[in-house]
Amino acid sequence: MTLDLRIGLGFDLHRLAPGRPCILGGIELPHDAGPVGHSDGDAVLHAVADAVLGAAGLDDLGTLFPDTDPNGEGADSRALLASCWGRVREAGWALGNLDVVIATEGPRIAPHRAAMRASIAALLEGQPEQVNVKGKSLEGMGALAGGAGVAVQVVALLRRA
């Protein structure tokens, strides 16, 4: 069976720590805490990468760029995603659309949705109309509440190039 459409799901979460730059979706948000990670901690781009890699049936981000690799220390996640996208494109796929949910009580997402859509779309050689982004409160529940962390879910649709 050959399918010309493929769907993928990505998920990531990071703690937020004071004094870290708040980089999400490839842009820096004005906030006094940012994601902690081996790379810049951009949970949005990490979940996007896993969604498109998963849709293409390729290895996941953690396998391609292990957090034990000293070269990845402080890595710019835009470069990681661009590299992942290159593999997806080489496998013969183009972007259909992405839907991104960012659950956090840290930075405000709504004022930056347009910039984030443009940033993610550019990295995937697509248009902002193909990328939706929305913020979600945690209703004060769980370990990520009160701005302690950020969790991201992404669903991606790819089409045969």
Report in angstroms how near the CB of residue 64 gets to Zn ion at its nearest: 13
Within a 10 A sphere around the Cβ of 151, how many other Cβ atoms? 19
CA distance 23 to 19: 12
Report in angstroms how near the CB of residue 37 gets to Zn ion at its nearest: 5
Nearer to Zn ion, 44 or 138 (CB): 44
Nearer to Zn ion, 20 or 46 (CB): 46
Within a 10 A sphere around the Cβ of 69, how many other Cβ atoms? 10
Nearer to Zn ion, 136 or 159 (CB): 136
Q: Which element (helix H / strand E) includes 43? A: helix 43-56
Residues that bind Zn ion (CB under 5 A): 12, 46
Instruction: Write the DSSP assignment of 63-124 as a string of letters.
Output: HHS-TT-GGGTT--HHHHHHHHHHHHHHTTEEEEEEEEEEEESSS--GGGHHHHHHHHHHHT
Closest residue (Cβ) to Zn ion? Answer: 46
The half-sphere exposure of 144 on its side-chain side, counting CA atoms within 13 A, is 20
* Closest of 158, 152, 155 to residue 87, by C-alpha: 158
Nearer to Zn ion, 40 or 105 (CB): 40
Report in angstroms how near the CB of residue 148 gets to Zn ion at its nearest: 16
Report in angstroms how near the CB of residue 2 gets to Zn ion at its nearest: 32
Report in angstroms how near the CB of residue 14 gets to Zn ion at its nearest: 6
Nearer to Zn ion, 12 or 105 (CB): 12
